[in-house]
Structure 1
Amino acid sequence: MGKAFSRVKTPFKNFDLENRAHKIISRDKPTPAPRYEKDQNEYERVMKEYPKVYEESLQKNLSLDKRLKQVFVVSEDADTMNIKQSNPNRPLPTDRRQVQSFLYGVKVPDKIPLGKATLGSVLEFLSLHQGNPVKYNAKNISEKYNLAEDTVSNILKYFKVFQVYIPVERNPKAKFAGPSIPQIKVIKPIIKELPSDSSKDKS
């Protein structure tokens, strides 16, 4: 039903469409929406007090209209042929694969400056110092890793490597925390007995 109704309505809707469109376009000023009562009163007051300004607002300003016709926008496409070349000293990455996970969460630099150490090197000499503090003291470590002796001393003082202690016995049997020899005391309950009949006869 809806399709049939739309087919009947379309010819009437498009009847004389071009002429109606030209009439609307050729209008100098569109019909304004109705104003509120307060705005309408203010508008009438301005018309009475400043009639000259009101008449000028109704006329078309030819100079402004002429300037407006001279305004135009020029659109230019981007020059796709002139592509900016990359800096050979700082080339952009070409490998788009996923970055592999590193041992300590960060990539180890290729060049390590003097006076610096990687996280792996620090963990290494910390573990060596904990195993043998006499042999691997701050002086020997600073000479081996090219570090300041004061810095190495502070690292050995304030940082330690976690150690895991594994018990020698696996799955030991549970032990009773109480005394080895149990002490059992049997207490005979005291029951109050009634006197027998023989005791009554004697009395």
Structure 2
Amino acid sequence: MGKALSLISNPFKNFNLESRAHKVISQPKPVPAPRHKKDQLDFERLMKEYPEAYQESLKKNEQLDKNLRDVYVTSHDPVVETKTEANPDRPLPTDRKTVGMFLYGVKEPNHVPLGKITLANALKFISKHQNEPLDYNAKAISAEYSIPKNTVKDILKHYRVFEVYIPQERNTKAKFAGPSIPKVQIIKDLRKELPPGNQGNEKT
């Protein structure tokens, strides 16, 4: 029912809509919306009790308007002074560039405590021990890097450096994987032949 009523009332609402809109727009001052009944009663009471204040509010304050025109606001970030004492043992980074790739994927520490060793030094003495196992043994490594001898023995026992062996001569013939016997064998077998002159008489 509501849809039927809207179909009937819409043509009347839209009648001469453009000219009515131009009429409202062309007014010098827009008409305010009607007040609520309670608000209207309060407004009339204030006009009766304080007519001078109402008339004063309708006037334009030239001094206030001049002050608003003279105001010019500029914003800027305040300079914050940070007074922090830098710790020489833990200095803050000064270079903000992207950190590149390290040799072994991790950055080597600047200070290594006693009993510890870096990855680069570990690979170095493992390689030297593989080349010279008698001269560069666990005792010499322990004295050079100040690490326990038992730890050096365990490292030399369980870790090795990769080595590449390239043969001097390559005389090995290539071998192809596959069955040695061919899958298809041609078998030649003799078949019986019919005597000449009897081919038409034989039944098939």
Q: TM-score, normalised by structure 1?
A: 0.49
